[in-house]
Structure 1
Amino acid sequence: MKVYEALAEAFVHEGTSDVFGMMGDANMHWMNALHQRGVRLYEVRHEGSGLGMADGWARTAGRPGVVTTTSGPGVSQLATSMLCASRAGTPLVAFCGETPVGDETAVQYLDQRRFAAAIECDFVHVSRPDLAEEAVQRAFYTARTRSRPVMLSAPFDVQVKDFEDAGPYTPSTDLIGHARLLPDPAAILRAAELVQASKRVVIIAGRGARLAGAGEQILRLQEQTGALLATTLQAKNWLCEGNEHHVGISGLFGSKVAMELLQEADCVIAVGASLNHYTTEHGLLFPDASYVQIDTSPNLVMGHGKAADVYVQADAVTAVAELSRVLDKRPAGAQGFHTPEVRSRLAAPLRAPAEYHAEPGRLDPREVIHVLDAEIPPEIGLVLGSGHQTDFGTMLFQRSRDVLSNYGMFGAIGQAPLLTIGSVVADGGKPAFVVEGDASFLMHLSEFETAVRYGLPVLVVVMNDEGLGAEYHKAKAKGLDPELAVIPTPELGAVAVALGGGGATVRTTAELTAALSDYVRSPRPYIIDVRITRNVLSVPYRRLQYGEDV
């Protein structure tokens, strides 16, 4: 057996089923060995795109995604996507080929250890044949336990050497305990006392709570405490179905009603939510609140630089259930936010104004989101990009569906379609749609062909204002020339068809509805180029750029 075969075998034992990337001299032997072992290989058009897909795969599957590159430039292409994955806390292993050990004159030589540090991922080096299995085990162990990307760098000359099999491989999963992290009873008691003394409780559920499956426990605690339920952006619309006291996202993307109600809170219970500055508006959103924070991390500093009044390090399911159990033994609390007046304020759906902005050949982006939410079945998942045009969807999508958001992950545009492709692969080919801006989508247009090649039912809704939307509106607000941010685009619906997929360019709601019906009837790689006006500013930008109370 060769080292590259041992490496491939170890990846299989770690549960690797899908690998994204590009083949080159320094990883082709390893990829061939994976193929022989039944692993599905997805050849992409850019190495960074492959990492973005592995990122989306990992976020959906809940286990480490895998990307591969050849040496040197193949590795350097990973930079932006790797930083996004690192900031998102995505478990991921990048198998990177490397030039022969010690040959700094090689054309593709790169100090990959230093590069890995610069792009914020861990580094594991296959320095000798006998260390091959240990390197794979360590890479996956780190990815799983620290929830972060790891670069596994394998010099080509080491890969082709003989490997002496020392016995059965022990996967990293065998080294990790699977028991739920139990809460400290004293911490639960302090949390119960704080909650019991409060009259206006807010529960904020984050991605950690959703991944832990703590929905049932959170809803019970909400009923016990008369609490409002809010989510972070990463858990958008979770537990909203039939919940009369669900206020949506906490923070900049929240509605005006939500912000007004949340400011009345005297106690915030955060479950699997980091309470960063986005969620708390730097602490300004909860001026008079005490905090109970439940998380598996040893401790977290919140977005306003302070620690919670009571911090409970524990699994979300067990901690919330235990808090409810203790509260059951105490006198019933006040009704809190569960009043007819609050229900009346929350009853009006969050929607765009009755009169949309009329402009020949261009749609109001708020109306576009309303149509998308109504016409796309809730079982079709949603991926949200970043930038001004996706702000409309981030606020206005209301149906309960699986949502994956790239907002705030290094502030990089163009990543969301890549995440969507990886997510669809991880979900067994289940259809999903992504809402992205035109400049963002065109950055990785070539990967739509990847979706076509593998028959992945990805719907890309391009909110096309023919420009850099964020920069256009920021320039206007700052008194600069916004026309410098205008970039005409071709008919992307026709481009989609030319690449082998389905597509349409739409300028009316009737055309949009027809295109959506075509996709829903027959899910396949599809682009809907929605021409939208630049004369409507999103609520977050109205708040940030003009200080408007909306």
Structure 2
Amino acid sequence: MAGTAETRTFAYQSIARAVLDHGIDTMFGLMGDANLFMVDDYVRNGGGAFIPAAHEGSSVLMALAWAHVTGRVGVATVTHGPGLTNCVTALTEGARGHIPLVLLCGDTPVSAPQHLQNIDQREVVKLTGAGFEQMRTPKTASRDVANAFYRARLERRPIVLNMPADFMWQEVTHEKVVYPVFGSPAHVPEGDDLDEAIGMIASARRPVVLAGGGAVEARHALLRLADRLEAPLATTLKAKGLFNGHPYNMDIFGTLSTPDAYDVIAKADCIIAFGASLHYFTTDKGALMKGKRVVQVNMDATQIGKNFHPDAALIADAGLTADNFVWWLDEAEIAPSGFTRELDPATLAAHPPARKPAARTPTAPINYVDALDRLEAVLPKTRILTTDGGRFMTEVWCRISAPDPRSFIVTANFGSIGLGLQEAIGAGIAAPDRPVVHFSGDGGFMMGGINEFNTAVRHQQDLIIIVCNDSAYGAEHIQFMDRKMDPGLTQFNWPSFADIATSLGGTGVRVETEAQLDAALAAIETRDGPLLIELVLDPNDVPRMRS
């Protein structure tokens, strides 16, 4: 802990300075009567940047994306009552995504229990899975902020710091307080569990190395292990892009695998999973693990056996354990498996095309999968890729590449739609020198995109938005169609999203034909500020969600 006494000040100033003491120069939020003076001091006297959102939940989502891209603790602020309840879905998304964030949340005055906006904010936060930290007194403001930051980093989830409004104008003595988190990985397993895992790996003839979101910092160690074993590599959705450039990278493991990768996984006799919880999408509800030995390595003991029970498990750091495996394989002079010699690198990560290019004519309606393949060819390679949830996204995850896991954000931790554009904006604030590409469905964009599009315009972000518009809630539409029922209630006569984008200060391009798609692709090259491409699709001619 570091502590430095300063001149007397007010509690709201101490809170603002405490955030700056933690090296956070960007705060997202919406001002209200419980946090407005803190935000003002943070900007005017502290030199911090405040990014105002149109909705409280949006500010939390923006901060979550900022944290994901930067690798630091995100910070957002809202006022009390409805200001907090508007954040419930976003906080749940962050908690389930294990993203460190501090939400500076105002509370109604302690002295006014009948305040119109008074609720039990601790109970609201509890149901989201986020943590709750109560500001104890005005005098402890800087220490309470430090506690919130410490917990966010240690627990890897959002922490809500509850700040009563009547504390703000009380005089305090600010003290710089920063609690270090001792997070250097040093856990190398020993004993019977290690022996069992190494035995399974050494005897495998067709091993596969799988990395999840908890192993993204261990790329080089996992590559060494895979090369030593002559094993192909794959990732979960959250680690997409981790093994880009390796000849035996199969990309996403599970229900989103390419046909060739799925066949390779079916042939495998051992899956060595690092930093993955082995969700049922990853294992295809257990089908991909049948007849195989599974070794699971994870620093979080609660992820071991959470979704699938492995044959051997180690609660350990991914990189150190991979290096340890290589050492023991060398020590025992275990020969490589030779599995990669059976494989064709050219087809491992290739999804089949929608149709032959010769089928295109200028007036033909666009095909969704073909449009994605053409977008992949022209979208900026240095992009950050973000997606909303919904029917359209599985094909995006498969066909649109991301440079690395930190450059890929999928807002699917809570299964909600309408969260993606907000996170795209937060990612753009985190990396203003890089373009952000965002994919959304029409329902998700109506729910959470339109109200924040102008935020991107105000900040003149380099943001390319592709809205997949089938004028329906697609997943529900499919269920009605499968049962030969009328899907009319799932269909909507939305306004033109391209026109809305233009009216809000961006550029909108509506695409219904191949010729219009050509124009939209050209607009990507000449964009100046936020660009929205509206793909008008037939709800009966869109690939099904892969599940």
The Cα offsets for residues 167-208 of structure 1, whole Å up to 9 and x where unpaired, read as: x42213x2x114223312435444322200111101111122
8 Å Cα contact 2:402/2:408 also seen in 1: no
> Residue 227 of structure 1: which of 210, 231, 239 is its match?
231
My pick for the range that moved more, 32-41 or 286-295, is: 286-295
> Residue 95 of structure 1: which of 104, 107, 112 is its match?
104
Task: Name the CA shift for 1:194/1:497 in 2 (closer, same or farther; >3 Å).
Answer: same
The 1-side partners of 2:515 and 2:205 are apart by 49
> Residue 520 of structure 2: which of 495, 515, 518 is its match?
515
Give the superposition deviation at 1:27: 0.5
The Cα offsets for residues 351-403 of structure 1, whole Å up to 9 and x where unpaired, read as: 33337799967421101110110011221121122111122212222575555
Amino acid at match of 1:207: G
Per the alignment, residue 209 of structure 1 pairs with 215
Task: Name the CA shift for 1:299/1:311 in 2 (closer, same or farther; >3 Å).
Answer: farther
Q: Secondary structure at the match of 1:135?
A: helix
Q: Secondary structure at the match of 1:116?
A: helix
Matched, 1:421 2:430: no
Task: Name the CA shift for 1:255/1:431 in 2 (closer, same or farther; >3 Å).
Answer: same
Q: Secondary structure at the match of 1:164?
A: strand
The 1-side partners of 2:477 and 2:417 are apart by 15
The Cα offsets for residues 119-143 of structure 1, whole Å up to 9 and x where unpaired, read as: 2211111131122122111111111
Amino acid at match of 1:409: N
Q: Secondary structure at the match of 1:194?
A: helix
Matched, 1:443 2:450: no
> Residue 339 of structure 2: which of 317, 324, 337 is its match?
337
8 Å Cα contact 1:58/1:92 also seen in 2: yes
Give the superposition deviation at 1:518: 2.6
Equivalences for residues 371-386 of structure 1 within 5 A: 371-386=374-389
8 Å Cα contact 2:261/2:349 also seen in 1: no
8 Å Cα contact 2:387/2:438 also seen in 1: yes
8 Å Cα contact 1:204/1:270 also seen in 2: yes
The 1-side partners of 2:476 and 2:445 are apart by 16
My pick for the range that moved more, 154-163 or 394-403, is: 394-403
Task: Name the CA shift for 1:484/1:336 in 2 (closer, same or farther; >3 Å).
Answer: farther
The 1-side partners of 2:350 and 2:66 are apart by 36
Amino acid at match of 1:269: I
8 Å Cα contact 2:497/2:508 also seen in 1: yes
Per the alignment, residue 170 of structure 1 pairs with 177
Amino acid at match of 2:112: D
Per the alignment, residue 125 of structure 2 pairs with 116
Task: Name the CA shift for 1:537/1:428 in 2 (closer, same or farther; >3 Å).
Answer: closer
The 1-side partners of 2:438 and 2:413 are apart by 16
My pick for the range that moved more, 286-295 or 532-541, is: 532-541
Q: Secondary structure at the match of 1:489?
A: coil
Give the superposition deviation at 1:341: 4.9
8 Å Cα contact 1:123/1:151 also seen in 2: yes
The Cα offsets for residues 74-103 of structure 1, whole Å up to 9 and x where unpaired, read as: 111111111111111111111111111142
Equivalences for residues 114-153 of structure 1 within 5 A: 114-153=123-162
Per the alignment, residue 457 of structure 1 pairs with 462
Length-normalised TM-score, structure 2:
0.92
Per the alignment, residue 27 of structure 1 pairs with 35
Per the alignment, residue 330 of structure 2 pairs with 328
Q: Secondary structure at the match of 1:292?
A: strand
The 2-side partners of 1:50 and 1:344 are apart by 42
Q: Secondary structure at the match of 1:408?
A: coil
Matched, 1:370 2:337: no
The 2-side partners of 1:332 and 1:207 are apart by 29
Equivalences for residues 237-316 of structure 1 within 5 A: 237-241=241-245, 243-302=246-305, 304-306=307-309, 308-316=310-318
Give the superposition deviation at 1:534: 2.0
Give the superposition deviation at 1:426: 1.0
Per the alignment, residue 473 of structure 1 pairs with 478
Length-normalised TM-score, structure 1:
0.92
The Cα offsets for residues 304-356 of structure 1, whole Å up to 9 and x where unpaired, read as: 442x3332233222221221122122234353421245547538654333377
The 2-side partners of 1:236 and 1:510 are apart by 32
8 Å Cα contact 1:199/1:333 also seen in 2: no
The number of equivalent residue pairs is 534
Matched, 1:38 2:39: no
8 Å Cα contact 1:493/1:503 also seen in 2: yes
The 2-side partners of 1:133 and 1:118 are apart by 27
Q: Secondary structure at the match of 2:262?
A: helix
The Cα offsets for residues 280-326 of structure 1, whole Å up to 9 and x where unpaired, read as: 122211101222222221352336442x3332233222221221122
Per the alignment, residue 416 of structure 2 pairs with 412
The 2-side partners of 1:359 and 1:514 are apart by 11
Matched, 1:388 2:391: yes
Q: Secondary structure at the match of 1:127?
A: coil
Equivalences for residues 75-86 of structure 1 within 5 A: 75-86=84-95
Q: Secondary structure at the match of 2:250?
A: strand
My pick for the range that moved more, 35-44 or 328-337, is: 328-337
Structure 2, unaligned stretches of length 5 or more?
1-8
The Cα offsets for residues 105-154 of structure 1, whole Å up to 9 and x where unpaired, read as: 11111211111112221111113112212211111111101110111110
